[in-house]
Each structure stands twice: as C-alpha cells, then as structure tokens.
Amino acid sequence: MVNIEIGLEKFTINVCTLARKTGNFLREERKQFSMNAVEVKGTNNFVSYVDKQAEKQIVDGLKNLLPEAGFIAEEGTAQSNDERYRWVIDPLDGTTNFIHGLYPFAVSIALMDGEQAIIGVIYEVGLDECFYAWSGSKAYCNGSEITVSEAPAVKDSLIATGFPYTDFGKFEKYINSLQYLLKNSHGARRLGSAATDLAYVACGRCDSFYEYSLSPWDVAAGALIVQQAGGKVSDFAGGSSYIFGKEIVATNAKTYDEFMKIVKTYF
C-alpha cells in the first residue's frame, strides 16, 4: 500500500505533469481532427478516438502512480471495485467544444479517499493553464496561488453555468433561475466545460457557478480546487452531495448564502 498522505503535494505535481501531457495530445490531435471521427453516445453527447486515447493515457499513468486505486472514468477505460482510493477522470471535458474547434476544453483528474476528494487537477488546454490543489493546501494555477473573488453580492457577480443537453426534467426551473440571474448580476457565461467553470470560480474570473445533470468526473477536481481557494461548494439543497448528486453550486465565500437563496427559490 502506498502511503499517499506522506506526499500529497508530490502526487499532485505528478498528476499535473500527466494532465499537461494529455492536454498536449489533445491540442495536437485537434489540428488534424475531422468530424468524421465523432461518435454519438446519446442526444448531444459525443465521443471520439481522442477522448478514448486520452483516457487510456491518463489511466496508464495513474496506475503507475498509485497501483491500488480504482477508477471512475467517463469513457469506461477502467473501473472501480470499491477501492479506498479512486481516480475520477474526464479526459476531455468540453468534447462538443473540441469537435468544433472551440475553447475551452480541459483535462480533469481527481483522487478520492472514500467519498472525499483529496487531489484535484484541471488542465485547460487553450490557455495552457493547470489549476490544482490537494487536501490541506492552497489552490494554484501554473505555480501561483489563486483565490476566489471578493465580490460582495450577486449583483456584483459574473455567473458561470451550463445548459442541459440531455436531461430536461428541471429545464423550466433552470431557465427561470437564469432569467433572474441575468437581470440581477453582471451576466452569465456558458463556456461548455464544467471543469473550466469551476477553475474560473477558484481563480476569481467568475464569482459563482451552478449546473445540474452533471457527472462526478465533471466536478470532483474543480470542487476541491474551489474549496482550497477559499470558496464554498454544495448541492442545490446546501448539502454535500455535489460530486455524485448531479448538481452543484460553487461560489466565493461572500455570495454563497445569497446565491443559495436564489437557487432554492427556483429549485
């Protein structure tokens, strides 16, 4: 058994190196990518050989780093069998952006100890930015410390969000909440990569993020980075089921209570 608690920082830096390597692969493949390579997993849900090869590259690298860990991976390259440690991987968060040649898209890798994320790494390919944190650390981007914004209220905030593309069960509630926020904030942005949205909350570019119908690999890394950057994260009810509960709110420390009141009003 590898005692990772002894060296979480070292583990995290190794994961950053792997995420950058995978991001470089994505960048190079995008130069020659053809829409003919796209497969449809479901309504507006796409995958290609790039996602699959990137995930295999990550899984192989992480197996060498922590052999006893399981995997929760979007493309199913490796699986979890109730191991204590589990890697949660999105090899290409923002596949739709990628296939259209649009940034951002990102590599997202988290390590879970039971139900708790203890390492989070997001590499956004377009701006060559690696965001990362580990349990008990500060949050960083390319080696420099980052923190959430100081925006004091929702009216002073830029909101990040994601539009549902397969699950429309809460669509009317979502649209009503978005309409309120558009009228009572600096505006909203839909970047197409939940991992990047969370990274941007962590570094203060956006002040809040919320979305539903998400998977663990979309949010596990980013949620930890936001928290270590001084932000707050929860599900729509204010609870802790944001990694596996398919909904997340992430804000700076000052606007969380107000933002949650808005979310609870509509959801």
DSSP codes of every residue in 157-205: -PEEE---SS--TTHHHHHHHHHHHHHSSS-EE--S-HHHHHHHHHTTS
Burial of 228 (0-12, 13-18, 19+ CB in 10 A): buried
The residue ranges of every structural domain in the chain are: 4-146, 154-266
Which CATH code is given to the segment(s) 154-266? 3.40.190.80
d(CA 140, CA 181): 29
Element (H, E) at 218: helix 216-228
Q: What is the pTM of this model?
A: 0.94
pLDDT band at 45 (very low <50, low <70, confident <90, very high): low
What is the pLDDT averaged over residues 191-209? 98
Instruction: Compute how many other C-beta atoms are within 10 angstroms of the C-beta atom of residue 164.
Output: 16
Q: Is CATH 3.30.540.10 what the domain over 4-146 is classified as, yes or no?
A: yes
Instruction: List pLDDT tens digits, range 203-221.
Output: 999 999 999 999 999 999 9
DSSP-assigned beta bridge partners for residue 46: 40
| pLDDT (tens digit per residue) in 101-151 | 999 999 999 999 999 999 999 999 999 999 999 999 999 999 999 999 999
Alpha carbons 244 and 99: distance in angstroms, whole number: 27
Q: CA 112 to CA 109: how far, in whole Å?
A: 10
Taking only the tens place, the pLDDT of each residue in 220-238 is 999 999 999 999 999 999 9
